[in-house]
Structure 1
Amino acid sequence: MKTLIVLLAIAVGSCTLSQAQNTGNISAQVTNLTSAEGEVLFALYTADKFMKQEPDFSGKASITDGRAKVVFENVPAGTYAVVVLHDKNGNGRMDFDSSGMPMESFGTSGSNFQYGPPSWAEAKFDYEGGQKEVEIRL
């Protein structure tokens, strides 16, 4: 019986250690901002929420020397996409002109799309835990 308890304790400890190793931080950074107006909004999505629901993680950053950066902490391993908006007027959302074109710069991880909404297939990346850096160009 004591052996069973010891084996069970080792198994639980191993699972906990394994889970702890499969989380970490994702740093997302924009490096090509041409204006220091407003702030930059960052969103980290999984496939089921991508561009449809509130993101799994979010953050915002001020702009310094054409750069803005956030760190998403305690992110479990998985497949994600980062969406970034340069919110020049600070209203917390993307603004559009009368023809429906965005008036503020935006971008995603792994994609430099020109027209239309971002696609999950182009923006996604695999994350195995630990530390990861993602650079987004607007």
Structure 2
Amino acid sequence: MWGQSCHPFGHVVRACLLTSALCISGSLPIASASSTSLTVRVNGFRSQSGQLCLSLYSKAKDFPSSTSGAMQAQCLNAETPTITFQNLSSGSYAVAVFHDANGDGTLNRNPIGIPTEGFGFSRNPRILTGPPAFSDSAVFVAGPGQNIDIKLNYML
């Protein structure tokens, strides 16, 4: 579904440019006996075109640069900006999202690497010179379910 070029943080992190994004390599369900869930609502769209791609992470070492590190990942129509990640164990999770406005499966950037499409993270951390740390984006999920809002950032 996603090409090898879909790794939006790789060269940007190395170049220390102002950016944030994620890459989705497919949906990876997790197995758990828990009924905990995390519902994410994304707002701040410039348009409703394209798709919204979200990835859920449970480990700091994978967030958000590892394309294979997402526990669950999904893209949905941008007109439906809410998703629920089901069957989670209690614990800390971080969500990375991007608005793939043109539907090409990648976070598009300008020639110097700054994203031209919207992106965001759980807890809406301030974006300075690169993606936030897991600890700046992590939310603790416990009980029957939790709801969070993520506001998209547009750099250009």
Task: Give the counterpart of 1:70 among 49, 59, 83.
Answer: 83
Q: Tell me the equivalent position of 2:117.
A: 104
| 1:91 CA displacement | 1.9
More strand by percentage: 1
| Matching of residue 127 in structure 1 with residue 135 in structure 2 | no
* Structure with the largest fraction of helix: 1
Q: 1:29 aligns with which of 38, 41, 52?
A: 41
Whole-Å separation in 2 of the counterparts to 1:52 and 1:63 = 23
User: Is the Cα contact below 8 Å between 1:44 and 1:83 reproduced in 2?
Assistant: yes
Q: Percent identity?
A: 26
Give 1:79 deviation, angstroms: 0.7
Q: CA deviation at 1:123?
A: 0.5
**1:91-118, Cα deviation, whole Å (9 max, x unpaired):** 2221111011111110001124233212
**Contact 1:60-1:70 at 8 Å conserved across structures:** no
Counterpart in the other structure of 1:60: 75
Matched position secondary structure for 1:122: helix
For residue 4 of structure 1, what is the aligned residue in structure 2? none
The structure whose Rg is larger is 1
Q: CA deviation at 1:23?
A: 3.4
Which residue, 29, 47, 51 being the options, matches 1:39? 51
What is the number of equivalent residue pairs in this alignment? 117
The list of structure 1 runs, each at least 4 consecutive aligned residues, that deviate by more than 2 angstroms after superposition, is: 111-115
TM-score, scaled relative to structure 1 = 0.76
Query: Structure 2 counterpart of 1:45, which letter?
Result: Y
Question: Hey, what's the Cα distance between the residues in 2 that align with 1:118 and 1:91?
Answer: 25
RMSD (CA atoms): 1.8
- Letter matched to residue 44 of structure 2: N
Query: How high is the TM-score relative to the length of structure 2?
Result: 0.68
Unaligned 5+ runs, structure 2: 1-31
1:70-106 deviation line (CA, Å, top 9, x unaligned): 1111111111001110001112221111011111110
